Each structure stands twice: as structure tokens, then as C-alpha cells.
Structure 1
Amino acid sequence: MGDLGGDEWAMVVRKGNQFMVNDQPFYVNGFNTYWLMVFAVDQSTRGKVSEVFQQASSVGLSVCRTWAFNDGQWRALQKSPAVYDEEVFKALDFVISEAKKHKIRLILSLTNNWEAYGGKAQYVKWGKAAGLNVSSDDDFFSDPTLKSYYKAHKILTRVNTFTNVTYKDDPTIFAWELMNEPRCLSDPTGDRLQAWIKEMALYVKSIDSRHLLEIGLEGFYGPSTPDRAQFNPNTFATQVGTDFIRNHQAFGIDFASVHIYADSWISKTISDKHIQFTKTWMQAHMDDAEKTLGMPVIFGEFGVSAKDQGFNTSFRDTFMNTVYRAILDSTKKGGSGGGTLVWQLFPDGTDYMDDGYAIVLSKSPSTSNIMSLQSRRLMLFNSLCSTKCHWSCKKKNALETFLYHEEL
């Protein structure tokens, strides 16, 4: 068989609990920059999109998660259900074409649980304006008309004006995400959200069966697994209408998503508890993804805010090392840890967008080095090992040395 090498830009697929590209493993070291589409609309800020991809690529990051929605707000992509601003759509086209130039793949999120960029609250407003009898933002998950609005979002079938490739055929897209951090507080049993996930996963797959699909969950354990609730950061997390195991068993979901925010879930004051929580939280989800779900898990957001009491960059570096090491330990065993996406990477000159979590590589040399080292470790593993290997081969010793000795 001819060598495809790493040159062919092929679709990422899943085999069991691993991601694969061209029959090679694909472990992810990536990042979030949610505002790329909005920045790409204006010529004055469009250059920042290329800049962040260039900087991410310089430390070996291979996947970016970003918003493919902006519902009814300033610079809206959807001005009203299925009515688009073509200039904004072209901006998203640009983001995708630019990502490919820098060999970065995208996880595209389709709407928001929160009000930023519209999200479910905006869908409910549209419903009210159309005379629907909807009162709660959670009606988004069950009202038939609102569900039809969500299904009408024509992202999957869009033809990119820069590359002429239809989104659903573009390997630059790593995966679709149903929603950023869905929660349905009005139904703590989880039935309402579960029904929505099942319906929308099937719907997305009916249009695009080739791309991977994930939900966008934070990873809280719910009523279906009372024995796992001990791993939740607090008791409230059990009651937000999500259910990590059950949700990910919905047909059509290809990998699990988990977020890590010890500083907003446990305490705003930095402490060793954050590190301990992060270790057990990650381990529990990697075990479940491997043993119960049989799929990879991506830690789709993790970060620590500079606004936290007691924050310093050395704590951030310790936190990131903890997250990265947990993934490496899973990788080493051929486990389900598929990768991580830091929240969030910004280029210089975008400080006014910073929510406290932004990492500007040029201002954070130590953090930049940690990211770069993780990328090199994962890339080495991706390029040397086939699925069957799991490090039992001759390459193992060389890898062991590189993976676990910081000075290399």
C-alpha cells in the first residue's frame, strides 16, 4: 500500500476509544478561542484570527474549539431562525479556510446554553415573537417549533466561499458540538435534555454521517449513576439536568466531553484542593469513557482565572501539567483520554476580551513551554505508534524517556 504519510488531509475518525487519522492515532492538544467568527467579520480584526492560529501552531496545538453560532445578537450569524447575514457566514468560511492553512482542525459548537451570543434564550425570544406559548429558556429543549428552529441552522450544508468545500465534507472540521454546556435545571431527572440529545444527534447524523459528534457537556454525573455523584464538585451539579453516562449513551454521539473548572465549582481561592479535584475528576471520566462508554473523552475546556484569589502563573503551570500528565498516563495505557483543549488562547492586543482565563503565549513563556512539550509528546506518540502497539514495541523506551523527563 502506498504511503499516505501525514500529508493527506483526511477526516478524523474514531475506532473504539481512540481517535484516528489515516490509521494513525490522533491525540489532541488543543485550545479554545470562541470569538473567531466575529473577529473575522471586520477587516480591522480579521488578522487576529490568522495570528491566533499561527501562534497555536507554533506550540503544536492541533485542534481549536470555537463558536459556529451567533444568534440574534450584534454581528449575528442568524438574524432570525434560518435567516443569515452572509458577511458573517463568509467570516466563518474564512476561519475554516485559515485553520486548514495552519493544519488546525475545528470543533464547531452549534449554540449556547448561556446568553452570550444568543443561545437558547434567543431561540425562546424568537418563539415568543412568533406567538408560541413558551415561558422558560428550557422550553428550547422540548418545544417542537423551537426544536425545528435549531434543526434549521444551516451550518452542515454550507458551501465554504473560500475553499468551495461543503462543511459536512471538510476534514478541517474535527467534530460538531450540539451545544456549549447544556443544562436543563427545570428537569433534574435529566429526561428532557436526554430526549433532546437523542433527537438532535440523530438529526445531525442524518445530514452528516462522516464527522464526529459530541454534546458539549461539562461532565456532571446525574441520577442514572448515583455511585458516581461523589466525583461531582458539589451537590448542585447532580441537579442541573445533565447525566454524563446516560447522555453519552445516546446513539450518534462519538466521544465524551468534560470541562474542568475547579475555581468556579469549588472555590474562587486557589488551593491544592483544585489539583486534587482535577486528578480525580479526570480519572473518573477516563475510566467511565473506557469501561462503560467505550469511547474517547476530550476535556473540552480547562483553565484557571487570573482573577482568582491567590492566582499566579506558577499555579496555572502546575494545573496545566496536572491535566497534561493525566492524559499522558491514559495514552500510555491505551486508555480513553483523547486530549485536552485549554480555555483559552488569545493573540496579543485582545486583552479587552479577556475573562481572566486568556493565555497570551508571548506574555507567558513558561506556559508556552508546557504546551509545546505536551504537543511534542503527543505528536511523537501519534507518529510512532499504531493502534495495536500501545507501547509494547521497541519505541517504548525512547518514548518513556521523552514523556517523563522534563529536561528533554
Structure 2
Amino acid sequence: MFPRLAAVSALLVASANALGISLPGFVTTKGSQFSLNGKPFFFAGTNAYWLSFLTNLSDTSLAMDKAKAAGHSVIRIWGFNDKNATFDPNGLPQYSPDSDAIFFQSWDNGKPTISAGLQHLDQVISLAERKGLKLTVALTNNWADYGGMDVYTANLGGSFHDDFYTAPKIKNAFKNYVRTLVSRHVLSPAIFAWELGNEPRCGADGTRNLPRSPSGCDTAVMTAWAKEISAFVKSIDPFHMVVVGSEGFFSVPGGSDDWAYSGADGVDSEALLRLKTIDAGTFHLYPDWWSKDPLTWAPDFIAAHGTLQRKVGKPVIMEEYGWMTPEARLSSLGIVSNVTRLQALGLWQDTSIAQRLAGDQYWQLGVDGLSFGLSTNDGFTIYMQNKTEAGPLIFDHVKKVQALNH
């Protein structure tokens, strides 16, 4: 950022903190709804984490155009990609940067360096701004993909995955990266929200990630971390919203036999949503991975978040949701299901609308016509050219959600 612009930005931040002002074109909250320029802003968006890493900006532009043409006004992307020069293939975390061409931060023997690749992310955000799109930008990852939390921890002397949430040295390193990224886009209307992390939990993958500490990580630890980091983001950028990015698990009083309601992974959605520096709630929905019924348990989970939205009086977003293709389910899990994607996702979307959730974003956007062909397919991707699925699940659903704005 140019020195003069940085000075102006700093003055605006100070004024906004003092007066509680917002800027035109920035999404804010009004009770349990989002608001844009004084009008309700219900949205049906999508996830396209890979937009951050396309080396050809023409591909990025084309994908954004197709998303916008479908009616998606909010897209969720990754704002992280950590590369470790001292990577140990026999150690943890077992990761590799999924894009060697574009990474945002590198580590060498405990020292982080901001990469020139961050300028590429700047261009992606600027492109979204010119197209009138909003981006939710996740700041790190709970999982080993694209580096994330464990790269910080392994480089800075930690032993456990949840050291990321408690060790001062690690938290300060994360804050330094957050400051560098967030401060570049304080005045950009393209930012829908800054997200503390993708699916933060006490633990992570049992094979690829550092282990969870034997004791010491619980809902109090996770909530305290979210409070500290969200307040830090707000101190840099008071204009944009902040969300946690959690999967939306609950911690019901007295406990629960259902792990998703027991606080087992340190996530207490109500406690997180009640934080003053958290503007909206998030939850994810993957019955395939969670061994849950898509037609009974899943709509109940959505309804529980609708209840939470009304109870706390802040917006809640069904931020990621997906049901595998039959081929992917058989390959990944070795099982079959007679529930189709139209049945599962259609029911979840209808439930979200009935609950008047503030927004939803399916996982994930699929487009064709890129310089290399199709965008990535992880078994959950919905390709817009597949009208059998995209017709009802994307185009028709967008119209139903947009009708809530009127």
C-alpha cells in the first residue's frame, strides 16, 4: 500500500472505530439479516477456494463471470497458502503446497516471509471488486492442505495442533500475516467478510496433521482464540465483517451422545456467535464425512442453526454443504447411497429458506471453458453446465433466495 493511501486508511480506521460508521457498498448486519446499502441482502453463493491460485487471471475472470451470471454474489476463497522450505516428508504435518506457482507465505527454519504471491491475491480481490462480487476470505486452514495452522506450529516449536490457539509466539506470527493481508484491503467493497480459519477445531487429520494435545483444548480455548483474533482483525479493519469459519457444532448443556452437539472438538456455535467481534455465524454440512443421515439428521442440524440465528439475533450462513456423487462416495468411502444430490441438497436448501437463514454457499463451484478445461472436481463439485443438477440446485435456488430480499 502506498504511504499516502496507508495514512488515509489509518485515519479512516481510527474514525470508524470512534464513530461506528460503515461505508457504502460494504455488507453489514441488521439484526439476524445482512444489509447492503440499507437493503436486505439474503444470498445464495458458492465456494471456489481455487480462484486464489489460478495462474491465468483470464481464467479467474471467466470463472467469476460465470458465477455472477448464475446469481452468486458471494464467493468464498482461500487467503492462505504456506510453503515450507524445511519440509520433512517423514514428519508432520504431511502436506505440500497445492500450488507451488502461487503461495502467500514461506517458512524457513522458523522464519516466515511474505511471498510476492500475495500480490496475485490482491489482483483476484481487485478483479472481484470490478465485477461487483463479494469475497469471504479465509485466513488459515485447520487441515494440512495449503499449509495452514500446523505449518506455523511446527516451525515455531509447538508439538500439538491446538498449540496454534494458545502459544503466544504462534498467535503473534499468525497475527503478523493477518495484518499484512487485511490491511491491504480495508477499503475494498469486494470483501464480504474476513474468516478466522477454515473449520478450526481442537484436532485435525489423524494422519497428516499434528496430534491434538492430550488435555487442554476445549470450547473455552477455542472461543477465547476466536475472541482474541477477531478483535485483532477488527482493530485493523472495522469496516468489514468477521466470521469464524467453524463447522457449526454445538455444545449443549449436560452433554450429548451426538458428537456434533457435545463440544467434543472445541466448537460451541452459540458462544462463538455471541462474541461482540463476530458478526455472523457459519456452519458446514457433510453427512458423507460425518456418517449422518442426509434426510433426517441434516435438516435438523440446519433448523438448529435457524433457531440459533433467531436466539442470538445475528445472521447465520450455511457456508459449506455437499453430498458426494455416487462415484466419489464409492471410491472414497466404499459405500453406496440411494439418496441423490437433487434430493439431499434440494432438501437442505429448502430447509435453509424455510428457516430464513441469512445465506448459503454450496461446495463447490464447477465451471468449464478454462484454459486447462474443467475446474477442480473433488466429488462434491456442481458443474454449472450440468443442467440436470445445476438447474434446480443453482439457478432455481438463487431465484428463491433472492426473492427473500423483496
> 1:94-137 deviations in whole A, cap 9, x for unaligned?
21122233332100000001011111111012213xxxxx2112
Displacement after TM superposition at 1:235 (Å): 6.2
The question of 1:68 aligning with 2:79 is answered yes
Displacement after TM superposition at 1:320 (Å): 2.1
> Identity, % of aligned pairs?
30
Give the Cα–Cα distance (whole angstroms) in 2 for the partners of residues 9 and 202 of structure 1.
Answer: 23
What is the SS of the residue equivalent to 1:299? strand
What is the SS of the residue equivalent to 2:378? coil
> 1:289-339 deviations in whole A, cap 9, x for unaligned?
211x21010011001112124468x811222221221222133xxxxx111
1:219 to 208, 233, 248: 248
Gaps of 5+ in 1: 1-7, 129-133, 159-166, 268-272, 332-336, 385-408
> Which range moved further: 255-264 or 90-99?
90-99
Give the Cα–Cα distance (whole angstroms) in 2 for the partners of residues 200 and 123 of structure 1.
Answer: 15
For 1:323-334, list aligned pairs within 5 A: 323-331=348-356
> Which range moved further: 113-122 or 75-84?
75-84
Paired letter, 2:140: T
> 1:344-371 deviations in whole A, cap 9, x for unaligned?
0122256583221111111344323431
Match of 2:104 in 1: 77
Compared with structure 1, are the counterparts of its residues 374 and 236 closer, same or farther at alpha carbon in structure 2 (3 Å cutoff)? closer
Match of 1:301 in 2: 320
Compared with structure 1, are the counterparts of its residues 24 and 148 closer, same or farther at alpha carbon in structure 2 (3 Å cutoff)? same
Compared with structure 1, are the counterparts of its residues 310 and 51 closer, same or farther at alpha carbon in structure 2 (3 Å cutoff)? farther
What is the SS of the residue equivalent to 1:174? strand
The question of 1:172 aligning with 2:201 is answered no
TM-score (normalizing by structure 1):
0.78
Give the Cα–Cα distance (whole angstroms) in 2 for the partners of residues 57 and 283 of structure 1.
Answer: 28
Q: Verify the 8 A CA contact 2:249 2:267 in the aligned structure 1.
A: yes
Gaps of 5+ in 2: 1-22, 84-96, 204-212, 330-334
1:355 to 378, 382, 393: 378
TM-score (normalizing by structure 2):
0.79
Match of 2:343 in 1: 318
Q: Verify the 8 A CA contact 2:219 2:263 in the aligned structure 1.
A: no
Q: Verify the 8 A CA contact 1:13 1:20 in the aligned structure 2.
A: yes
For 1:1-400, list aligned pairs within 5 A: 10-39=25-54, 42-43=55-56, 46-72=57-83, 73=97, 74=100, 75-80=102-107, 83-86=113-116, 88-128=117-157, 134-153=158-177, 154-158=180-184, 167-185=185-203, 186=213, 187=216, 189-222=218-251, 225-226=252-253, 229=256, 232=258, 234=259, 238-266=263-291, 273-291=293-311, 293-306=312-325, 307-308=328-329, 309-310=335-336, 315-331=340-356, 337-348=357-368, 353-382=376-405, 384=406
Paired letter, 2:64: F
Give the Cα–Cα distance (whole angstroms) in 1 for the partners of residues 139 and 378 of structure 2.
Answer: 22
Give the Cα–Cα distance (whole angstroms) in 2 for the partners of residues 323 and 236 of structure 1.
Answer: 19
> 1:123-163 deviations in whole A, cap 9, x for unaligned?
012213xxxxx2112111111110001100111112xxxxx
Give the Cα–Cα distance (whole angstroms) in 2 for the partners of residues 85 and 241 of structure 1.
Answer: 32
Aligned residues between the structures: 342
> Which range moved further: 179-188 or 252-261?
179-188
Displacement after TM superposition at 1:236 (Å): 8.8
Compared with structure 1, are the counterparts of its residues 301 and 228 closer, same or farther at alpha carbon in structure 2 (3 Å cutoff)? farther
What is the SS of the residue equivalent to 1:31? strand
Paired letter, 2:144: E
Match of 1:162 in 2: none
Compared with structure 1, are the counterparts of its residues 104 and 126 closer, same or farther at alpha carbon in structure 2 (3 Å cutoff)? same
